[in-house]
Amino acid sequence: MKLEENFEKLKKITEKLENGKVGLDESVKLFEEGAELVKQCLEELKKIKGKISIIKKDVEKFVEEEVEE
């Protein structure tokens, strides 16, 4: 899944930035890459939230119909 892959990439970027062994230019490049990954993760989470909402509504509707019978 793309979300897990992006989280793993973010983890590696964070580790590189935290170890302090990269120069300023590389740090800026990594930060930009990380910011884009965060954006992609948030978009994917929004999609997942929408799917869960639809599934939840379907289940609630099914339960209501079963209770009424």
**Domains of the chain by residue range:** 2-68
pLDDT at 59: 94
Core vs surface per residue 33-63: b (16+ CB within 10 A) or e: ebeebeebbeeeeeeeeeeeeeeeeeeeeee
pLDDT (tens digit per residue) in 21-64: 999 999 999 999 999 999 999 999 999 999 999 999 999 998 88
- Its pTM stands at 0.76
Check pLDDT > 90 for residue 69.
Answer: no
Check pLDDT > 80 for residue 10.
Answer: yes
pLDDT at 1: 62
